[in-house]
Structures are given as structure tokens and as C-alpha cells.
Chains A and B, each alone.
Chain A
Amino acid sequence: MKPARTPWISYALIVLGSVIMIFPFLDMVFSSFKSASEYASLKYSLLPKTFVFDNYRMAFEQLKLGKLFRNSLIRSVSIMVLVLLTSSMAGYVLAKLRFPGKQLIFRFILSTMMIPTFLFFIPNYYITVHFPLVGGNDWLGQNGNGGLAASPLGLIVPFAVSGFGIFLMRQFMITVDNAYLEAARIDGAGELRIFAQIVLPMTAPALATLAIFEFINSWNEFLWALLMNSVNGDLATLPVGIQTLKSYLDPTLTQPLVMSGLVIATVPILILFIVLQKYYVRGMMHAGLK
């Protein structure tokens, strides 16, 4: 229902709304270039009087951004790869094979998507730290130095499977024509080969959706990473490292550094999102709201 006349009032309203949406981002970017004294000055201004580029060098030094960035990257890439693998394998089986218990398992996976995440913090913290035979733990999960949390595994393993991912891949794989699978079976291809060489390439768009969705969500995840960081300080990701180190630094002197850190934590992800949003948005539509 596009009207013929240009709806100026609508444009005015939507631009005003957009300013409210992006203003905090502009404030973050410009604040990251302010000097500490200007940041603390009595009058608000969006633009810095002089751009202090040195903030970024100091932020890398004092907030150890390089290490935080590496942890975030290791975590997000690992979770992304694991979720793609587990989701496509389970999705394939649930879409294309016949076996007893299939309906039950599918219903179970759907219902896992409705369990709120806060329920898992307490028990999964214990299970992760007392995981048997890793991080120095004995087979009862005792006497070690952090179990899974002794290494980046603590940030990764509890996110290795996604109910949403399995559901998405299953829905997509159902649309793959059985004729391809039949032909391959007649040619004597094994099930693993059919999965890897025929079905997976056909589901590339769904894999792209899941990959970008998992990468961004793992990058931004805060609460679990905060818990893991409390067990093992080497595990700080960008959001966790900036938030926790912020409280150790003198706020009157270092706020612009915190803003520089936040720019480093958010801008790469925003660019990634804008470039690949077609895929991300499709994932959101399937997941409903987060």
C-alpha cells in the first residue's frame, strides 16, 4: 500500500526514531576519542574538541584487549563450528531417516527450546567445574583446578548443541529431494558420505544462517562467560574483560578507554551483521524473539 504522495510526516517520524536508535552508538564512538578531562567536563557534548587516538593504544595495554579479542574469537568460532556440526548431523537424521524413537526425540528437542536459560546457571556451573577427567579432575570430578573451566572448553562446551539449530537444519533438510539420496544409495555410497557430500552442500543457506546467528550470539554472551572468568581469569572475553577491569581502573581517568574497548567489542560485529544481515534476520524469524 505505497501511497502516491511522499509521506513527509512518516519520513520525519522514522528519522527521529532512527536518531534515538543510533545516537548511543555515535556517543560511544565519539566518547572513545575524548580526553579524560573532557569526558568528565560539566557540559555534555557529542563531538570531542580534539580527537585523542592514543586512547586506543592505552586501551589495548590497560584492558588487555588483544587477549580478550583472542578469547572471544576462539570461543565464537568454536561454538559456531560445533553447533553447525551437531545441528546438521541431528537435523539430517531427524529429517531423512526412519528409526524407532524419532518422534520422541524430535519433541524433546523442541521442548528444550522453551526452557529458560537462567535455570541452568547453578547446576551447569557445578557440572562444568567438576567435569570428570579434565582440568586435573579425577573421575569423580574432584581435586582439579577448574574442570572444563581450566581451559577455554568451559566457555565452549556448554554451548556445543543448539535446539534451535537442530530444528532449523531439520526443517531445511526435509525439503531436499529423496531422489538424490536414493541414487547415491544405489551407487553404494555410505550414509556418512551421503550426508557430507550430497545433503550438506544443498543446505548451505541454512548453514550460513546458523553460522552467523551463533557467531554473533556467542560473541555477545555475557553471563556464562562472567561465571567462567570468576573460576579462571584467563577466560575473559571482550564484554567480560571490559566490564570487570572497568571496576579496577580509576573511572575519572579511564572512562574513554572503556569506551574504546567497547568500540573494539561491538563495531566488528555490527559490520559483520550489516554485511550478512540477510542470513541473520532469517535465523531470527525462525527463533522468534530471543
Chain B
Amino acid sequence: MKRFGLKRETAVAYAFLSPVLLFYAVFLVIPVLFSVVIGFTDWGGFDLASMHFVGLKNFRQIFSGQSAFVHPILTNTFAFAFGTVAISFCAALAVSFLISRLRFEGLWRTLYFLPTVTTIVAIGNVWLYLYNPTNGLINGIITGLGFRSVNFLDDPAHALPAIIVVGGWLGIGSSVLLLSAGMKAIPEDFYEAASLEGAGAGRQYFAITLPLLRPTILFVLITSLIGGLQSFTLTLVMTKNGGPGNATNVAALEMYNQAFSFGNWGVASAMAFVLFVIIFIITIIQLLVFRRGGVESYS
């Protein structure tokens, strides 16, 4: 291939890349370093001169006995992440299996995907109405069956599960998409051969579909877990500050409120750092798994 001078090619390349590199310097590299620094200060976000270095004080504070950060907030974060993943994954596995055997596969997939492209503000408010203790649909069904109505979002025992259900419902669509694509990649011959040998649908599912789908399943589980650990928009919309008490509070929401409601930027950045380390460990596990696995997404 005819090249123009390497020196000129380099100049052109960096000219094309300059907006991107400048952006990453200002909105990614500096912020990440800045964020780590803030975690070791008592800063309130006003004037850079008012920033005092306090060592590990913020970290000692959030891990101390009086702090709600480890329990219930981090516990809730994991409950939310595992709960939503469990609901969305099990539902998605069933849905993607069913629609692969039915007509109008695309139509079903679209229906299950609609919540994913809807603003969380709409999702949260509509579900608040469905959960309403006096005239919500869900309590209508519960009382119709002869049980007492439940004040889902004001009752500390029911609030977190109520939000987890919505979060799980919300996540079904994207998991269906990935699992369906994974199923399509399994060669039809395998099923034909199994049919000839007399294997029924159930046998085929457990002996062919599930084992060959393993890399996709792992990918879906890990990425949705990472997403669940950092998700807090739904909790913010449905409960404002993670209430009642801290019953629904999660780490990223607590960070957001510590910074922007209470002005404790130092404590908030320390929380962000802790949550980041947790997510980073899971990301490393993911990379190790997929170096051996077969999903090309991160190649």
C-alpha cells in the first residue's frame, strides 16, 4: 500500500485524535485523580483553598461502628445487585428459551425491551402508583385475595424488596437480547443430531443449549451484577434519599446525597473509592474469566 510519509501520518492522526484526547484529559483522567485526592480531605466543594488533607479520617469514619455505610448501606447494595440480577436473569432465561420456539420472536423481544429505553423517572413514578397502599393495583390484588394491604414503600421490611422487583423487571429486556443472540449462535445441526438420537426438548435444553450458552450466561451475570452495584437512579426516584431510614439506601446513592445534599465531598469521595474497589475486583474477575471464555466483546 502506498503510504504518505510516516511523519505526516502521525501529525494527521494526532490532529484527528486531539479533541478526544483533550476531552479524556479534562473529563476523565483529571477527575479520577481528583476524586481520589478529595477522599483524603475534608472538602465541602467550594474553594480549592479550603481543602484540608485529613489522611484516612474519612475511611475510618465510614467503616466505624456508628456509620451506616457498611450496614445497612453496603448490605443493601449487594442485596439490590444480587436480587435484581436473580429476577432479571431467571426471567430472561425463560423468555429467551420460549421465544426461540415461537413465531414473532422479534415482537416479543421488543415488548420485553421497552422498559430499557424508558426514562427511569417514568418507570419509578408509575410503579409508585402501582404500589400505592390505598388504590394501587398490587394492593388491589392482595386485598382481593383476602390479605391485608401492604404499605410497600413506607414499610422498612418491604421497601427494598419492592424496589428490587422493579429493578429486576427493568433488566429483563437487555438480558433477553444477549441470551437470544447467544442461542442463535448454537448450530442447528446439534439439535437435529440430538433429535435423531431421540432426545426430547427438555433433554436438548439441558444437554446442548445450557452448556453451550455458558459464556453468554457468565457475561450476562457479571455485567448485570456490576450494573446493579452502581445503579441508584431508581432508588432516588422512588424513595428520594433511600428511606424509610436507610432501608433502601445503596452506596452510590449515599455518595450522591453526602456530596450534593450535605456537602461532605470528602466522605462522599471516600465512599465512591470503596465502591469503585469492589467493582474493580469484579471487573478483573470478569476479564480473567473471558480471557479463557469465548465472548469476543472485550477482545
Interface residues of A (CB under 8 A from B): 1-3, 7, 10-11, 13-14, 17-18, 20-22, 24-25, 27-28, 31, 40-44, 46, 86, 89-90, 92-93, 97-100, 102, 105, 108-110, 112, 114-127, 157-158, 160-161, 166, 178, 182, 185-186, 191, 195, 216, 219-220, 222-223, 227, 230, 238-240, 242-243, 246, 255, 258-259, 262, 265-266, 269-270, 273-274, 277, 280-281, 284-286, 288-290
Contact = CB atoms under 8 A, between A and B. Distances in A.
B114 A118 contact: no
Interface residues of B, number: 100
B101 A21 contact: no
A220 B120 contact: yes
A27 B129 contact: yes
Given A14-B108, A24-B127, A28-B122, A90 B98 contact: no
A123 B31 contact: yes
A11 B1 CA distance: 57
Contacts of B120: 220, 222, 239
B191 A223 contact: no
B19 A122 contact: no
Contacts of B145: none
Contact of A17 (B14, B91, B126): B91
Given A17-B112, A223-B256, A289 B224 contact: yes
Contact of B112 (A18, A116, A246): A18
Given A10-B98, A99-B9, A243-B121, A161 B23 contact: yes
8 contacts: A10-B102, A43-B135, A99-B13, A119-B272, A123-B31, A178-B1, A273-B117, A289-B178
Given A238-B119, A289-B227, A44 B137 contact: yes
B260 A44 contact: no
Given A24-B130, A44-B135, A108-B24, 18 more contacts: A28-B126, A44-B139, A44-B140, A86-B23, A109-B20, A124-B31, A161-B23, A178-B1, A222-B237, A227-B260, A239-B120, A242-B121, A243-B237, A262-B121, A265-B119, A265-B121, A269-B119, A284-B174
Interface of B: 1-4, 6, 9-10, 12-14, 16-17, 19-21, 23-24, 26-28, 30-32, 34-35, 38, 45, 91, 94-95, 98-102, 108, 110-123, 125-127, 129-130, 134-137, 139-140, 169, 171-175, 177-178, 181, 188, 191, 201, 204, 219-220, 223-224, 226-227, 230, 232-233, 236-237, 252, 255-256, 259-260, 265, 268-269, 272, 275-276, 279, 283, 297-298
Contacts of B24: 108-109, 112, 161
A42 B9 contact: no
Nearest to B11: A99
B23 A160 contact: yes
Contacts of A114: 283
A37 B227 CA distance: 40
Nearest to B97: A10
Contacts of A239: 119-122
Contacts of B298: 110
A260 to B, nearest CB: 12
Judged by DSSP, the binding face of A is helix
Contact of B125 (A92, A102, A262): A262
A43 B35 CA distance: 50
B101 A2 contact: yes
A92 B24 CA distance: 18
Nearest to B177: A284
Given A122-B269, A166-B20, A288 B297 contact: yes
